[in-house]
Amino acid sequence: MALRKILIGFSLLFSLLTFNYLYQPIERIKLASKSFDQPIVMEIDNLKFRDLNRNKLLDEYEDFRNATSLRVDDLLKKMTLAEKVGQMMHPAVSINPDMALRAFHFAMGRKTLDESNILERHITHFNFYGNPSPKGLAKRLNYLQRVASKGRLGIPLSISSDPLHEVKGGGIAAFSINGFSKWPSQLGFAATRDSKLIEKYGEIAAKEYRAVGIHTALHPMADLATDPRWARNFGTFGSNADLASEFTYAYMKGFQGKELSSESVMTMVKHFPGGGPQENGLDAHLPSGKNQIYPGNNFDYHVLPFLKAINNGLRAIMPYYGIPMGQTSEDVAMGFNRNILTELLRDELAFEGVVCSDWGIISGRPWGVESLSESQRYEKAILAGVDQFGGENDVKKVINLVQTGKISESLIDRSVIRILKNKFDLGLFEKPFVDESLIDRSLDKTEYKRAGLNAQKRSVVLLKNSDLDEAVLPISSSSHIYIDGLNAEVGSQFGEIVSDPKNADFIIMNIASVFNGNQDPGSNKLIDELLSTVIPDVNLNLNPDTIAKVIEYSKVATLIVVVDLNRPAILSSIDNFVDGLVGTFGVSDEVIFKMIFGDFNPTGKLPFEIPKSMNEVLLQKEDLPDDTDLPTYSFGFGLSY
C-alpha cells in the first residue's frame, strides 16, 4: 500500500509537470496568423450591424431587429453538421490556474482549449477556470472572442463559470477571485433566510460577470442537503425544499432579470433532479459514490426546488452524475436516463431550455454505462435528452452518429435551436467584447462591497452564548484575547492580543471545515485515486487533536469557538466545553471578529441540523431532511444578542 502511494505521488508529479506545460492554451500555441478578419460594421437606417459572415449583406441572423426565432432559423440553415455539433460541446478554458486546479483538471480528465477547438471543431461554449485578475480575465476572453470571429459564420463564444464571489471558495466547484465583491457560500445565503438579499447578490454578480465577459452562471445548486455527509452540501441552500425553491428562483431572477438580455447572466441550475441523496453520503465524482438512493421514498421532494425556476424563465439545467437507483426503468445516471430527462423534465415539467450534462460524463464519469463505448454513450445521452456536453470536445463521434444514421440531424437541430436561442437573447452576436478600460470601475464597487459584507454578517449563526447561564458575547474591546486559527492582525483591531492563552480573558478558536480523510475512490484507476485526494470522506467527527485542544483551552479562559460549517459537523464532543459557539458559512475573519465584539447582532439560522453523533448520521435516511434523533442543534436554530 505504501509503495502504491509513492507511485501515485510520482505519477501525479509527472502528470502535473506535463499538464503544467500543456495547460497553457494560448501562450504555447503558434497562431497561423496574428491578424483577424473582424466582421465589418454596416450602417443601415442609422443603425449599426455586424457583418458576421463578411458577405457584405445583412443576413437575417445578423439583424437584431428580427425576432430571436427568425434569427435562429436563418443561422441554423446556414450551418454545416460540424458547426451544429460544435455547439453541443462545452469544454473548459483555463486562465492562470494554480497547481491545485491543474491537478483537479487532470484528475477530472478535462480537455484543454486550443484554437482548433474554436475554428476547427466549431466549439463556442467554454467554462472558465483559473485565478487571473479581472482585467487579465477580460483581456483573455476578448482575445478568444476575436479568434471566434474568424469563424465562417462569426458565431461568438459563450463563457460560463462556477461561483467566483465566495470569500473562501468551496474547493472543487466554487472559487474566490480577487477583485470581485465577496459573499458567503450558498449555505450562508440560506442562513440569512432572505430571498431579496439573494436576488440582490445575483444582480451585482451578474454585473461583475458581464464586465469581464462571462455570460453563464453554472449555479446555483438546487440540490438538498439531506445527507450531512455529502461533500457538496456547501453549495446547496440547505435541507428544506420550500426554502431552496424560493432561494433558487430569487438567485436566478437576480442573475437573469425579468428576461434574458444583454445585461443578463444566464443561470444553469443544477443538479436535476437533485443530487443530495447520495448512497452513504459519498460524492458522485467517484465510482464509489455513483448511486443515489431513496430509502425514505422521497424522490419528489428533491425535485421541488427546481419547479419555480422551470416555470419562470429557467433557460439551462444540469443533471447530476448519480444513478437514481430503483426510480426509473433502468439504473443509469441522469445524463443517460430518458425517464429523467425526457419523460420527467421535458414532458411532465415542460422544461424548454438547454439540458447540459455535468462535466465529463462521456469520457470520465459514465455511471451505469461504463460498458458502452464513448460513441455509444453520446448516442444514449442524446436520445435521453441531453443537448450539450459539459467538459467534452469530441465532435467527430457525434458527427459520425448522424452520418451513420444512429442519430437524426433533426435531433441535433432541436438541441442547437435551444442553444442558439440563449446565445442570441444574451446579446452576444451584437456585443461579444467587453471594455477592458472599464474593469476597475465596474467591479468591487463600494456599494458592492457593502452589500457582500452585509450578506456575510447576516449569514453568521450564533449557536451558544453562555457561561453558567450568563451571556459571554459580545465581548468588550478592552478584553485580552488569544487567537487560534484566525488572522491575529485583523483581531488586533478589536481587542488586545496576548501570546499566551493563560494570560487571556477570552480564547477565540477557529475550526475549519471537517476533513478527516479522503473518500475511497471505488476503483484502482490512477485518475480516480488522484481525484479522491480532493474529496473528503464521510466522517463528520472533529479531529481528536482539535477536541483535545478545545478541552485544554476551556480550562484556562472563557472559550469562544467558531466552526466553518461547510457541511454539518459533530459538535457534541466540544459543546459542553465552549462558552460561545459560532457557525459560519464562508465569511471573512473581519466579519467573525465584528460579530464577537458586538459590531452587529447575529441573526442567521441553521440551514440544516447538526447531528449529535456519527451513529445518528448512519441511522438517518439519505433522502429525508433533518431526520437524525435528538440533534445537537436543530434546523433553523440561531441565537441573537
Residues designated as active site: 358
Which residues fall within 8 angstroms of residue 491, CB to CB, at 6 or more apart?
481, 483, 497, 508, 589, 593
Taking 3-state DSSP, the helix, strand and coil percentages for the chain, each rounded to the nearest 5, stand at 40, 15, 45
Q: HSE of 247 in the Cβ direction (CA atoms, 13 Å)?
A: 29
Q: For 122, left (φ over 0), alpha (ψ -120 to 50), or beta?
A: left
Is 370 strand, coil or helix?
A: coil
Residue among 390, 378, 418, 156 at smallest CA distance from 262: 156
How many CB atoms sit inside 10 A of residue 489's CB?
Answer: 10
Q: Do 254 and 202 form a contact (C-beta atoms < 8 A)?
A: yes
Residue among 198, 204, 207, 225 at smallest CA distance from 302: 225
Angle, helix 2-22 to helix 99-108, in steps of 10 degrees: 100
- As a whole number of angstroms, the distance between CA 248 and CA 246 comes to 6
**Could you tell me the end-to-end alpha-carbon distance of the chain, in angstroms, rounded to an integer?**
53
- As a whole number of angstroms, the distance between CA 627 and CA 636 comes to 14
The cell for 193 is 433566510
Beta bridge partners of 216: 160, 266
Residue among 93, 134, 120, 99 at smallest CA distance from 15: 99
Which residues fall within 8 angstroms of residue 489, CB to CB, at 6 or more apart?
none
Could you tell me how many residues make up the chain?
A: 641
Based on DSSP, count helices (H) and strands (E) in the chain, helices before strands.
Answer: 22, 19
Name the one residue in this structure whose C-alpha cell is 479531529: 543
- As a whole number of angstroms, the distance between CA 462 and CA 296 comes to 31
CA distances (Å), origin 588, targets 215, 474, 604: 27, 18, 15
Main-chain phi, psi angles of 213, to 5 degrees? 105, 25
Main-chain phi, psi angles of 267, to 5 degrees? -95, 135
The DSSP code for 389 is E
